[in-house]
Structure 1
Amino acid sequence: MIGPRSIRKKLVAIVMATTLAALLVSIAIIIGYDLRSYHRTLVNDLATQAELVGHMSSAALTFDDPRLANENLALLRTRPQVRAAAIYDAGGALFASYLAQGETRAVPAELTGAPRSDDDDLVLHQRIVEDGDAIGTVYLRAENQLLARTLDYLSIAVGVTLLAMGVAYLLIRRMGRIVTAPIVAITEIARDVVATRDYSRRAPRISDDEAGELVDSFNAMLLEIEGRTRELETSSSEIAREVAERSRAQQEIMRLNEQLEQRVDERTLQLALANAELANAIEEARSANQAKSAFLSSMSHELRTPLNAILGFAQILTSSTLPSTPEQKKEFANHILKSGRHLLTLINEILDLAKVESGTVTLAMEPVPLADTLLECRTMVEPIAAGRGVRVLFPETPGAVVLADRTRLKQVLLNLLSNAVKYNRESGVVVLSCEQVAPNRLRLSVQDTGAGLDAAQVASLFQPFNRLGQEGGQQEGTGIGLVVTKRLVELMGGEIGVSSSPGVGSVFWIELASTAPLAPSAPEPAGAGRAEVPAVPVEGGAQLTPHLLLYVEDNPANLRLVEEIVRFRPDLRLISAADGHTGLALARKRLPDIILMDLNLPGMSGMEVLGQLRADAATASIPVIALTANAMPRDIERGRAAGFMHYLTKPIDIDKFTEAINSTLALLHPVEAEAEPAGRKAE
């Protein structure tokens, strides 16, 4: 049995060790800094005194007047820390000297070597220079109080440390039970429930913090499991009763067939129908039992995993036969806290799934402005994405309104966005786009640049405890979120779907009814994808004319990603075309500096567009960079052989993209490429 007193002792030890380490480090830094400042101040003060004495004694050395030099040194009586001083001529011979009252050690008769300081004295030599020539040296010996100052600081540090450790000990002794009591209580109940299968047990709520929420959720889970178990038992009894009734009916039919031979055919038909219904009922009951057993088995495994960490590390912390260091105890306590939070998340998601499956979820359907919901999601997702180095791009949705439950819509979007961040690659991108697919229908798509999924993984996505097809991976999760998301979208009258390509990424989309359509963007010139960027001022007031970059791409999300990358480049302006024919016409009309080309384009492929560009004298010299998802080695070789200057594959590597653009511009404008860094610095 785990004792709360033992856990509190471990917490006291951890806190006391942490407090002592923090105090020692802080006091050491403060003492070291002060002693260093004291030594530096003393040296600077002696250097100033030596320079002043040397300046006053330069005339005495020049005119060989030791009396004047001795009078100058006698002025050091006002500096009690200076215990001895001397002036030496250019040859190092003693010219004049001074000893403070009570000083018994004489100054050196000759000046040889560098000054030597010790724990008691600080010695300084200062050359006397006249018209650029060294005419002598000033010798100063001062009392060094560094050791005494250090001992004073150590006495103060010991007193402060003892006082702080006493206060910390009293505080943690009083607060220890607040931390350990809820964990001990829920651990005992969990062990009893696992051992006895008695789901009527309840853990007591002791606090109102996260541990209290964990107790409430744990009790709610036990209540739900108890209800499901009771329903399963009732269902099994009902099935047994139906089987018995069917059996009696069959016997009655056989008896009637013996008595009424003339009705054999009719009764035989009735018997066949009854047997078919009985078989269907038995099969449905068996399938239901198998589904429930599979769900309970998976749920038991998921619940036991964090409970195993909680119970295991708690046993180590309380065991007297398994000694551990304070650092290990702190690590074990962190594992317990992390597992408890994961268990709380799992329980909440199971409860959400139970509510959805039982039909007890109540939705408040209303017109929801999409911009407000996306802003809330952005505020919550961006910090998580930033921690993983993932950029999240949100669309402008002026005037768009969907018919949904406000809270559940945000829950759906947050789940899709968090999955896109979690399963993304480092320095990846998540693009959220919105489009009008019908007059009263809006589609929201979440595209990531992760590893992607194959067809088998996509087919099993919306099953409980399926972690996005990442079984055995390093990502933590329950696999329930997508199931709940799908049911919530369907309850709101919407649809959900997914498309994915291994090595490229995935796109999850939902469609909802729209009460107000997406407002159209400002009109653009024919053939152009976006407004052009004006010239940017550079160093000296000159104007840097941006290079024109044409991007031929039919996927709006990919176009939006490149727009966001180019937006940070004032030396570029971007125009775009959605198909090969438009891109070819735009290239002939605008003659861009560089063309980015997707290969899989509607109407005319990227290879065909490249051939047309090379056949036209006006566009033959324009460098074309391939930007495509065709990443097989044979595709790359074919593209380079066709004449692409660079062949970039999706998902976009921003560093390789920037390098390709810069190297191409350097070949086109070598002089401007050398001057460009100065302009960047001026910005």
Structure 2
Amino acid sequence: MSNTSLRRSLGTKLRLAILGTTLVALVLALGTMIAYDLRTWHRGWIADVQAQADLLGHASAEDLAAGNPRGAQDALATLRLQPRLRNAAVYDAQGRLFAGWHAAGSDAPPTTLARTDADAGAGASHDLLVRSPIVDQGRTLGTVTVRARDEIDERIAGYAAVSLGLVLLALAITWAVSGWLKAIVLRPLAAMADIARDAVQHGVSSRRAAKLGEDEVGELVDAFNGLLAEIERRKSEQDAAAADKDREVAERRHAQQEVMRLNEELERRVHDRTAQLESSNRDLQLATREAESANRAKSEFLSNMSHELRTPLNAIIGFGQLLNHADAGGDPERNRGFVQHIVDAGNHLLTLINEILNLAQIESGKVTISLEPVELREVLEECHALTRTASAQRGIRLVFPMETPLSVSADRTRLKQVLLNLLSNAVKYNREHGAVIVECTAGDQGRIRVAVQDTGNGLTPDQLRQLFQPFNRLGLDNTTIEGSGIGLVLTKRLVELMGGTIGVRSTPGTGSTFWIDLRSAEPAAMPRAPSRPRLPTPSELVGDPQLATILCVDDNRANLALLTEALSLRTDCMVLTATDGQAGVDMARSHSPDVILMDNNMPIMSGREAMRVLQQDPATAGIPIIAVSAAAMPAMVSSGLEQGYFRYLVKPYDLVDLTDAIDAAIDMSRRGGVAPDADA
């Protein structure tokens, strides 16, 4: 923007500010004066018309009483001297016109008095209507009405004309004054702006601004000129010193460039080295975390696998030793029971080993999948036949699709294994007399979904996050439902190998739905949960006081039967049994046994929790407790002995070791104190 436009903009702003201020002041002053005058005039006019009506009413009272309308007409005729009055009328007490008058060119008063007219106010076309009652000696004889022309519009128009003239005159005077102010204030400022622009753009500092007065603007001009003089002096000094420094600057520039080059080279090397170290540290941290995670996973896998393998092995070895015992023969029925326990445990062990081997083969990539078109109808019929018996034992209703034409691209054997696994879980974890529903639906992008829905207890969000981890039974390890926690992991791996996906939806308390999606084409029955052994009554425990009372606590029916049968060979002990930790605590408190054989993983209350409860009770704190557990990792054994177990027997255990541990515990118990032995 040029200097001229700047001056014009500032001058225009100054003039507009003065004009605006003057205009606002005039409008406020004139508006207030006119409004006050109109209000005063209007009130006076109403008072005048009201007085005229009152006088007419007083003058017409006698004529109205005497029934002389002519006298009242004469009184009304006097109103012709009032040019602003339009009409007037006298009405009797019944509202009928008694006498009336109206000016030339105005409407005659109505023949009857309207009851809804206001006592005083504006009528049609801004007319003013005033009504006054005619009263004689306290008696109302009639009413006088007077209608007058309201001239407020004419007065407003007159005021507006005068106000407009005053405003125009004031604006003209203000415009002239603002021009004078603009000349004496803005001219020196414009000159200083031009001089400053030349000094900045062209380096000209010899020009000076003209001083027009001794006021503040003049002082500003003097200060500005002094500033220019000081700038000019310093500039000359700087020019003289600049020549001396040019040589020094040239010499230093070369040295600085060399130093900068060396610094840049050093920074680049440090940056590259730092980046290499950071990358190495990140790789090292990642490798460390992966190694720690792999080590933890291996330890957990070995611990869980050891526990799951030792549990059936314990029953196999124990019952085998019982059959091999010299005193065990004689009762064929009893021996057949032992053999059945061995067979059941062996089958369970075989299933577990097969699942572990299958999982290992899948993880190592040695499983071969042969994809082919498979009709779901045929596979579902075979799965239905294989799960019908297990579901019928618990009264669970199986609902399969009546007929499905859908086919999937899958390995027929592996698909059947997947569906049997899902169906088996749906039956095993279902409620009694529940239902399992199988549905087949076609989805988007050429996918087929097979869903298995149960009516069990469902899964919590935390359990859903841990669902497909090996040996993780979601907190169900202490229940009577058998399982290894590998089945769902195998199912997931097999589905993924066939190019599909697996998922689950579950609502706690309602049930779960497992589904698999395969390209354009689910579990085997498990044995029923064992029933809890009957606990002996106190009357059955009455016997020889020299007999040692041994309490066996284990939730596994076969392991509990093995302990009972092994101890039945002894003639110096009486055996009590309990199938969970809480029942074991209750039995120990009520029967005060000499020795307690305690499993670790049990429902309601674990073995270690039960041991802590018994140790805190003075009545049971002195009872030696022998751990009989399939948790065989050294850390588990050491921590168990540290927490107070008398001995720690690992399943499968040798009956000789069991006898030695019981003998030592009975001896310690009868001597009145417990000294935990660190030997497992």
TM-score (norm: length of structure 2): 0.36
Using CA pairs below 8 Å that are at least 6 residues apart, which structure has the higher relative contact order?
2
Q: Of the two, which has the highest radius of gyration?
A: 2
